[in-house]
Every structure is written in C-alpha cells, then in structure tokens.
Structure 1
Amino acid sequence: MTHTILVVDDETRLADVLTAALEDFGYRAIAAESATDALAILDRERIDLVLTDLRLPGMDGRTLMREVRRRWPDIPVVMITAFAAVRDAVELVKEGAFDYIAKPFEIDDVAATIGRALRLSEVVRDNERLRTELEGRYSFENLIGNSPPFRRVIEQVTEVCETRATVMLNGESGTGKEVVARAIHFNSPRRKRPFVAVNCAAIPEALLESELFGHVKGAFTGALANRVGRFAAADGGTLFLDEIGDMPIAIQAKLLRVIQERSFEPVGGNQSQTVDVRIIAATHKDLRQAVAGNQFREDLYYRLNVFPIQLPALRERREDIAILAAHFLRLLAESVGKRVIGFTPGALSAMSGYAWPGNIRELQNCVERAVIVAKSPTIDAPDLPRDLFDAPARQREPDDPPTDLDAELEHIERRFIIEALRRTDGKQVLAAQLLGIAERSLWHRIKKLDIKVNRRVAE
C-alpha cells in the first residue's frame, strides 16, 4: 500500500523539492503552504503522516501538531526546524510529535525518519485492531448459551469482572474455562493491560518456576541471559493459571507468597520485583479432595478460591447444544469457504442425544468435521462423526425432568436406521433386512425422519 505524506511548508520551493523526493521513495506526497490548508486536506484526504515546518504563517507548526493529535491521533507528525530551534523541537516530541528533522538535512535522513514513523504507526494500529478483535471475541455476547446453569455463569462473570478478586474456575476439560477467563479480563478495568495464560500441566516442573518468575543470567545451566517471567509480563493485567491442580507443591509455596506480598524474586536473583497482577485460576480437579490428600496446599486453596465459578459440562446444558453448534457453524463455514447454513432435524437430534465427554471443544471439532464433509448447504446426520452413533444411548439421570417419549423413540429409531445404512453402504434393501423390516416400511421411516440417503452414510 502506498502511504500518503502531507508536506506543510510556506517555502514553496522547499515543499516542491520534498514532495518530488518523497515520490522518488515510493510515497504519494501532497504539499500545503499553511496549517489552515493542511487541516482542510486532512479533512478530505486519507493522510498517513504529516511533515511540517515549525515556523508557518498564521497557525504555527506547534499548533498544527496539537490539532492533528487531537483530531487524528493515529497520524504521526514529524517536525522540520532550523538548527537554532532544536530545543523547541525536543519539547514538541515530548508533546506528541514523532520526531524532528533539523535544517539543513539530507533527504535520506528524512526518508528514514518517515519510514520509522510509518512502521510504528502500523504496529500501533495493528495492536489496536487486535485488541478490538479480542475484546469483541470475548465480550459477554460471545458467552453462548441460554440454559439456566450457563446463565448463572454469566451472572457470576458480570458480578466479578469489575473487581480485583481472585477467581477460581472449576469444570471438566473443554467446558470453556479460558474463554470465561478472557471474558472476565476483557470486561474489567484491566482490559488494556496484558492477559497472560500459563498451562501449569504442560510445563515440566524443572522449568515452571523459571516460566512463572523468570530467571537471571547464570542461575542454572542454560540460563544464558535474563528472562522475564509470566508474572512480570502480566504486570497491571491478568495472569491465567490453567490446570492449577497440577502445580507442584514446591512452586505452590512461592505462588502463595506472590499472592500475599505481590512481590517475588526471579530464579537465581536476590532483587524483589513488585507486581500488580489479578489471578484467575482454573482446574478440572476437585481441589478439596487434593487438599485432603496433601497434594495441594490448603492455604493456597483458600487464597485462590475467593470467587469460585463452576462451569457446567455440556451434557448438563443440552438446551445450548443447538445454539453452540450454530455459532461454530457460522465461524467455521466462513473460514473453510463453504456455504453451509444449518443442520437437519436429524443432525440436531443426534447431537442433542450425545453425552459429549469432550464438552464444547468436542462439539466444535464435530461441527468442523461436518462442515468439511458436507455436500449440501445443510449438515445431515451422516455428515457427523460415527462416535455420536456408536456411543451407548444416553440414560436419564434421576434428577432429569420428564422427557418427551415420542422424541426419545424417534431418536433411537433414527440411530438404528442410520447405523444400518452405514453398514450396508447405503443400500436400503440390505438395511431393511438387517433391521428385520420390509423395504417399504424402511422407506417410509427414512422419509418421516428426513434422513438423506446416499453413499455418505458409509463413511
């Protein structure tokens, strides 16, 4: 992309030389003789950088810079000044100018300064875009679900996100603990500071202490330079300690001290570092049981369990399966580039009847696979993984509300028919024989249950 540079100088000859030179460097350059003209151009054109003389008739370069910073804060301003006014230019940098160029100058120096300013501006813009995307991705609207158990989770997130309280997320693997942790962070006063995630189960015990607290050069074999730990990297923001139940006892003691005193020493160091970090911990284990078995420190447990949130398993919020599946379908169909717009009743019935031991993560993988293999705009039961049909039928729990008998029978009938069609490579005559019914009866049932029969059933 060609960047557009606005050159502001009342010396027409110098402005012409600068614009011509900048165009030779590949930029698009526009000249203005006054600050007033420059502001008019900024109002109607997309400008990537302003290069302005400090001394201008009427409104001077300092006032122009302040106005640009106020109205277009993303546009960097580079000042041109006489050598005698360098002190003024330094003050302007403190006020918000990117840099200054003293006369007389070399055009290569001007191009180098402009290049640095544009690169920094692009980095800042990209960071802001990514931050906006993250905040949108982890807004409350993206905590998907209407079931009573999940509505309770959203209520708790709403209650705690504006506070400094330490949060403990409990739930099976795949229930979305990190998504909830990010939602808490990006809806808190710390949203503009870092969110740093550490999986305590994925890092070897010998490296975990250094990973969390950093180390100094020479602290151990291989420590060739100082390293900043995750606590220091998260200063002012949020540190997410995933699978905290797998943290070794020895490191738990040091973590307890950081939470209590908000300071720590890097491995091999003797200088304390103070940090302001909010901790969100998560685990799929029963930490009370771990405390009773001396596998987790009781004092650390109470420090972390200030505001516990229990995330329900997907089988406990079956009303949300269709909503979540539609959400994943929308995202995945767009990324794969296929026009897949929904699910047949048979596919939804199969998904609703499955126990989902891998929870939301397994559901997302299931939808992704279905999007890839689907040959029509609607995902049907044969597009779903075979696991959904090989698994034993769901048993009602004692506390389950009464179910719809017709729906349960339809679900069982559908599973039997689809499995028979799979085993017979989609041949209805053989499937009817396998089921012990007439071919005409099977045809009527397939039509009633809206099962699309083709060779995909054999996948």
Structure 2
Amino acid sequence: MTHNVLVVDDEPKLCDLLASALGQNGITVFTAGNGLHALKVLEVEDIDLVISDWRMPGMDGPQLLGEIKNRFPHLPVIVMTAYSTVKNAVQSMRNGAFDYIAKPFDIDELDITVSKALQFRDILQDNQRMRAELDEHQQIDSLIGDSPSFRRVLQAIDSVRESNATILLTGESGTGKEMVARAIHKHGNRADKPFVAVNCAAIPEGLLESEMFGHRKGAFTGAVADRVGRFLQADKGTLFLDEIGEMPLALQAKILRALQERVIEPVGDPRERKVDVRVIAATNKNLLDAVANKEFREDLYYRLNVFPIPLPALRERVEDIAPLARHFAHILGATAGKRISGFSPAALQAMAHYSWPGNIRELQNCVERATIVASGTVIDDDDLPAYLFAASAATCSAIPNEGMGVPSDLEAALAQVERNYILAALEQSNGVQAAAAQLIGISERSFWYRLKKLGIHVDKIVR
C-alpha cells in the first residue's frame, strides 16, 4: 500500500534528507516549511502521517500538533526535536503525538518509528472502512420493495452489475439513486475497488475541474501541492457523478473526453493519465429538456445514457411504503435505544395516503421522528408528523369533480398538492427555507428548485 507522509521543518536540507530516505521505502513525501503551510497541504492532500519539527518560527510543533488533533483527530504525528528532553517527549505524547524522534536521528530508527505509525494509521482506516461497509450494507438492504415498478429496478441492477457500461440513474430527489449506485458497485465485478461519489452541485464551479481531474502544484493560487482527482481515486473502481445535470457546460466537454478516451489531464499538467473507471451518473432533471435548452451537451447525454435506470417515486410504489417503514423503524429504533415492533393500521394507512414529495429520504426522516416520540413499541398515527394528514386532506380536495373548476389532469393536481405542502412547511418554519426543507426531508437545493418551479416567493411568515 502506498502511503503519503508530510514532513514539516524550516530546514530545507532536512526535508530533502527525509524525503530521500522515506522515498526508498515507496513512500510519497510532501514537505512544508512551517505549520501554516502544513495545514494548507493537509486540507488538499490525503496524508497518512505527519513528521513535524518541535521548534519552528511562527506556528511551532506543539501548536501544529494541537491543530492537527482538532482538525484531523485520527492522523498520527511524529515529533522531531533536537531538544530531546524527557519533558518535551512526555508533553508531545500527552498532546496526542504518536511518538517522537531525536535529532540527529538514526535512519533505521526513523524507519521503524514511521513503519509503526503507518501500521497504526492502516488499522484505523481498516476500522473506518469496516464501519463504512456496514453502513453501505444497511443502505443496500434499504433497496426494499416488491412493487412492479421497483422490481423493474432490481432486474435492471442485476442485468448491468457485471458489465462496465455507463449507467444513468434518473428520478426525483430522495428516490435512492446513490443507494442503487452503491448496490451496482457492491454486487459487480469492481466490488473490491474504490467507490467514489461526487456531488456535482455541491462543489464550486471554479474548483470542479481540479476536483475531478486533479492538479499540479502551482497550477493556480492555493495549489500548494499535487492533488489526485476523483477519476484517479476511482481508478479500477466506480465513479458516481450525482446531480450530473448541474455540471457546467465548460467542464462537460472534458468529462465527455474522459468517458470516450479513458484519459484525463490534471490542471497544470500537459501529460495525459489513463484511467479505468466505471461511471454511474444520476440526476433529478430532465436532461433531454436541458439539451433542448442548450444547458447540457447532447453528445454527453448519449454517452451517459448507455444503460438508463429510471427510479420510481415513492407514490408510484405505495405497496413498498410499509416494508420500508418497518425497515427504517427497526434500524432507527435500535439506534435510539428503543424496540419498535411495527406500525398500527391507522399509521400505515396515513403513510399510504401521503404523496411523499421527498420520497424515501422523507419517509426515513418521518419514521425517525415517529420513533423518537413513540411511547410504546408500536408507532401509531398520533406519532406521525402532522403535515402527513394536512397533505392528505389537500390531496383529497384536489381530486377533480365535474363542474368544480379544479385541475383536470394529474400533473396539475400534483403540482397544487406540492404547492400547498411547501407552503405549510414554510408556515411551520416561519419562512426559514433550510428548516422547511429539513421538515419535509429534502435538500435545500431541491427545496429552492421547487420554490422556483412553483413560483413561490418567500418572505418570513409570522403566525
């Protein structure tokens, strides 16, 4: 396994000496001349071990150690000091250092200490991976359902999981696109390789190219060291591009080239790098509409749409609501220290009659709240959020009756229900959009999109 070590010392010759010595063991060495520079490197590079001098101008070794323990609590630090007193050694260990070495140091002693620190780091990362795999296993288990629409999804997953075809997952926010992507990876021929997820909407446009393809040191202001991008991180594995419809047009051409030619070009580096990545993209937008509006490249759309898998909204798979709710109640009840055995018929009926605009994510949030407030082992309708019943009433009033002048088609009726539902959430949150989005279990971005789509202008609502 390749490791990255950061050496921090204000003596360039010592940094070069350590880089040469550690490099012979296959270790990649980054250097920094002071504590502040070291923190900048740690923010952009995946470092496994820090070796820091004790006395440095500006931010010294003890101060840097304190910052590392606050920001990167699991990162081991070895302290170097020419003042190898018992007092300094004990103090560094008390402050969280893994070990210390004294200057001038013996190379063999350095190798042994570094090897122990890296073994410690590997054990921590293995534990984190096991916890992540457990979480992933729970997520994959959440692919629950026997409705006809969801069976088609499961059949599609089974058909494509062993191939390397590019997949496009489409569906509303909260329908479980990332869970499906993880399931495809977990049960495919790349299961033992990395799964790297990128939310294209969450990264500032100016940093997205560097995030995807990496950069060379000095390529732009703030590029204090080389950085490996997400494509290379996912090499031989799966790259999940969530919210691909939000990717800027300027970057879409480079993504297209990476998919077609399987090569990337880091920012500031003219050399091409070959990558072997299986790409799964996801979006809640209609990409064909985006293509028509010149917001998305047509050639990229067809490159992504090799194997499309549309995910049904929860309201289109009502028969799956009860088993999903029981699954979430079992997991969340255990987390909350409660034993939840199920739901009353009234609670199940209320959930079945609700339209779930936030889909599975909203259902999970709803069950979590009900689990917390439930006084017994069975969740009753009194334990469910009040907005479920308000929205159900709005749905009933929206069913068209002859001659009443109400919406005459399903889409218009659903839009009206969605509008009433969002207005109710805004009223409950006093007009705070982030709180309203959290109430109904969707992201702030999705909530803002719905406000724009429905023409709702938000002012603080005071009741």
Over residues 289-333 of structure 1, what are the superposed CA-to-partner deviations in whole Å (9 max), with x where a residue is unaligned? 111111110100010000000000000000000010000000100
Distance in 1, matches of 2:113 and 2:247, equals 49
Over residues 174-214 of structure 1, what are the superposed CA-to-partner deviations in whole Å (9 max), with x where a residue is unaligned? 00000000000011111111100011111111111111111
If the length of structure 2 is used for normalisation, what is the TM-score? 0.59
Name the stretch that deviates more: 148-157 or 265-274: 265-274
Q: Which residue of 2 aligns with 1:150?
A: 150
> Aligned runs of 1:129-278 on 2, under 5 Å?
129-130=130-131, 132-133=133-134, 136-137=137-138, 139=140, 141-278=141-278
Q: Which residue of 2 aligns with 1:393?
A: 395
Flag the 1:110–1:277 CA change in 2: closer, same or farther, 3 A.
closer
Q: CA deviation at 1:133?
A: 2.5
Q: CA deviation at 1:148?
A: 0.3
CA contact (8 A) 2:142 2:324 kept: no
Q: CA deviation at 1:220?
A: 1.2
Structure 1 residue runs of 5 or longer lacking an equivalent are: 1-107, 399-459
SS in 1 for 2:395: coil
Distance in 1, matches of 2:400 and 2:226, equals 55
CA contact (8 A) 2:142 2:327 kept: no
Structure 2 residue runs of 5 or longer lacking an equivalent are: 1-108, 402-463
CA contact (8 A) 1:147 1:317 kept: yes
Amino acid at match of 1:393: T
Flag the 1:205–1:341 CA change in 2: closer, same or farther, 3 A.
same
Distance in 2, matches of 1:262 and 1:111, equals 40
Over residues 2-49 of structure 1, what are the superposed CA-to-partner deviations in whole Å (9 max), with x where a residue is unaligned? xxxxxxxxxxxxxxxxxxxxxxxxxxxxxxxxxxxxxxxxxxxxxxxx
Flag the 1:116–1:346 CA change in 2: closer, same or farther, 3 A.
same
Distance in 1, matches of 2:282 and 2:112, equals 51
SS in 2 for 1:168: strand
Q: How many residues align?
A: 290
Over residues 407-446 of structure 1, what are the superposed CA-to-partner deviations in whole Å (9 max), with x where a residue is unaligned? xxxxxxxxxxxxxxxxxxxxxxxxxxxxxxxxxxxxxxxx
Flag the 1:216–1:355 CA change in 2: closer, same or farther, 3 A.
same
Structure showing greater Rg: 1
Distance in 2, matches of 1:389 and 1:170, equals 29
Distance in 1, matches of 2:117 and 2:202, equals 39
Flag the 1:241–1:110 CA change in 2: closer, same or farther, 3 A.
closer
Flag the 1:244–1:112 CA change in 2: closer, same or farther, 3 A.
closer
State percent identity of aligned pairs. Answer: 58
Q: Which residue of 2 aligns with 1:122?
A: 123
CA contact (8 A) 1:138 1:186 kept: no
SS in 2 for 1:368: helix
SS in 1 for 2:217: coil
Flag the 1:251–1:114 CA change in 2: closer, same or farther, 3 A.
closer
CA contact (8 A) 2:153 2:311 kept: yes
Amino acid at match of 1:218: G
Flag the 1:195–1:113 CA change in 2: closer, same or farther, 3 A.
closer
CA contact (8 A) 2:350 2:389 kept: yes
Q: CA deviation at 1:215?
A: 1.0
If the length of structure 1 is used for normalisation, what is the TM-score? 0.60
Flag the 1:246–1:117 CA change in 2: closer, same or farther, 3 A.
closer
RMSD over aligned Cα atoms: 2.4
CA contact (8 A) 2:215 2:266 kept: yes
Flag the 1:331–1:397 CA change in 2: closer, same or farther, 3 A.
farther
Distance in 2, matches of 1:223 and 1:115, equals 31
